[in-house]
């Protein structure tokens, strides 16, 4: 587990004004540090410390299935949430089946959103040297598809099912390894290919590509544009992504194979969530910090500008529809004060 403690000593090390005195001590849980969700939370943590709003102790590389339950139960103050997880929690389904529908619905009602982002876009990749044949070559192959438990694994398996009709263990094999060992697992050759969350460009694949050129395979166009493909893109916490292929879209040494010059994949939409019981003024100040700090937050890594930060359209935020979550009242005040229009379906 990687931890970044935004405390007085670290604040000084980061070059943040020592005159800032935090008014609240908070805990946060997020994705691996290289990903958009983590960088958004780190950015808010640093800016909030600088402004004297809060000190946020951020634990990166967490299993978000557990993280949002911790927020719902009041054990953690803020967490990154792929929006498929609150939906499943509200139904007592998937990784929350042990909760049951009633308890799951009660827990999910404790969650509220501050701001949203695109966590990543899922795609199939392999080393060029393996001569992997893309989505049609998954039958009989071994696929690295994420950590042992969580939204990423479910998404990867579902995409294979959509593209090929096969389930893991019945047509292909899967390898599950925690995020901290992701690059090692890609490079050690234990899998023929990988289905993982990626960004434009992608830090994880770029590290792996240092060991050899890689190729990313666009999702099959015919399936993507079919009714099942469209429904998959409209599912809770999901969004269809069509991106023009440009040089080094995913990073140096990484090519893209497509039918027509566009990369197609499915994104996870999500956001940072807090407990509905969070003080309204604190939620307002944290959200205001995010909105006012967007230029700095987007500049943190090369992939941040493509992460749909600061969006309000439900097609990109994943709010409304089957998503049971609403914005925190304090967050609504911050968004509207900043001149944004939030859809009524996303307000409490």
At the topology level, CATH places domain 2-118+269-346 in D-Maltodextrin-Binding Protein; domain 2 (3.40.190)
In order of 29, 146, 180, the CA distances from 63 in angstroms are 9, 11, 11
For the segment 92-103, what is each residue's pLDDT rounded down to a tens digit? 998 899 999 999
Percent above pLDDT 90 for the chain? 88
Structural tokens at position 45: 């943590």
For the segment 158-216, what is each residue's pLDDT rounded down to a tens digit? 999 999 999 999 999 999 998 889 999 999 999 999 999 999 999 999 999 999 999 99
Angle at 83 between CA 82 and CA 88, to 5 degrees: 110
Domain spanning 121-268, CATH architecture: 3-Layer(aba) Sandwich (3.40)
| Lowest-pLDDT choice from 21-35, 44-58, 179-193 | 21-35
Rg (CA), the chain: 20
CA distance 112 to 141: 41
Mean pLDDT of 13-24: 46
Give the pLDDT confidence score for residue 94 in this predicted structure: 87
For the chain, give every residue range classified as CATH 3.40.190.10. Answer: 2-118+269-346, 121-268
Rounded (10°) CA dihedral 36, 37, 41, 43: 10
Mean pLDDT of the chain: 92
Mean pLDDT of 63-68: 92
CB contact set of 162 (below 8 Å; sequence gap of 6+):
223, 228, 229, 232
Structural tokens at position 348: 């409490």
Rounded (10°) CA dihedral 101, 64, 208, 307: 100
What per-residue string of b and e applies to 284-299 under the rule 16 or more CB within 10 Å gives b?
A: bbbbbbbbebbeebbe
For the segment 260-275, what is each residue's pLDDT rounded down to a tens digit? 999 999 999 999 999 9
With a cut of 50, say whether residue 23 has pLDDT above it: yes
Give the pLDDT confidence score for residue 18 in this predicted structure: 32
Which residue, chain included where needed, has tokens 């805990």?
27
Give the pLDDT confidence score for residue 243 in this predicted structure: 95
Query: Which phi and psi (to 5°) does residue 244 adopt?
Result: -60, 140
Structural tokens at position 19: 């005159």
For the segment 156-169, what is each residue's pLDDT rounded down to a tens digit? 999 999 999 999 99
Instruction: Give the global pTM.
Output: 0.85
Give the pLDDT confidence score for residue 180 in this predicted structure: 86
């Amino acid at each position: 587990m990687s931890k970044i403690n935004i405390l007085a000593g670290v604040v000084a090390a980061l070059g943040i004004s020592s005159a800032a005195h935090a008014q609240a001590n908070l805990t946060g849980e997020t994705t691996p540090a290289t990903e958009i969700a983590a960088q958004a939370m780190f950015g808010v943590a640093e800016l909030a410390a600088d402004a004297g709003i809060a000190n946020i102790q951020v634990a990166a590389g967490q299993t978000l299935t557990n993280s949002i339950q911790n927020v719902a139960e009041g054990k953690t103050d803020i967490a990154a949430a792929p929006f498929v997880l609150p939906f499943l929690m509200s139904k007592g389904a998937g990784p929350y089946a042990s909760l049951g529908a009633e308890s799951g619905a009660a827990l999910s009602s404790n969650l509220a959103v501050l701001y949203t982002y695109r966590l990543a876009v899922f795609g199939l990749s392999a080393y060029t040297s393996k001569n992997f044949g893309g989505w049609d070559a998954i039958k009989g192959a071994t696929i690295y598809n994420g950590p042992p438990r969580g939204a990423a694994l479910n998404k990867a398996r579902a995409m294979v099912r959509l593209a090929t009709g096969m389930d893991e263990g019945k047509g292909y094999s899967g390898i599950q390894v925690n995020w901290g060992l992701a690059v090692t697992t890609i490079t050690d050759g234990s899998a023929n290919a990988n289905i993982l969350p990626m960004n434009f460009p992608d830090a994880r694949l770029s590290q792996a590509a240092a060991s050899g050129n890689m190729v990313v395979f666009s999702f099959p166009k015919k399936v993507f544009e079919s009714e099942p493909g469209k429904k998959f893109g409209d599912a809770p916490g999901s969004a269809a992504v069509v991106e023009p292929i440009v040089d080094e879209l995913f990073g140096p040494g990484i090519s893209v194979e497509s039918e027509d010059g566009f990369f197609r994949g499915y994104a996870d939409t999500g956001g940072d969530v807090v407990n509905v019981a969070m003080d309204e003024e604190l939620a307002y100040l944290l959200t205001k910090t995010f909105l006012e700090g967007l230029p700095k937050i987007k500049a943190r890594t090369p992939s941040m500008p493509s992460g749909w930060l600061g969006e309000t359209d439900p097609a990109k935020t994943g709010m409304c529809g089957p998503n049971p979550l609403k914005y925190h009242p304090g967050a609504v005040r911050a968004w509207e004060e900043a001149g944004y229009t939030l859809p009524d379906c996303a307000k409490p």
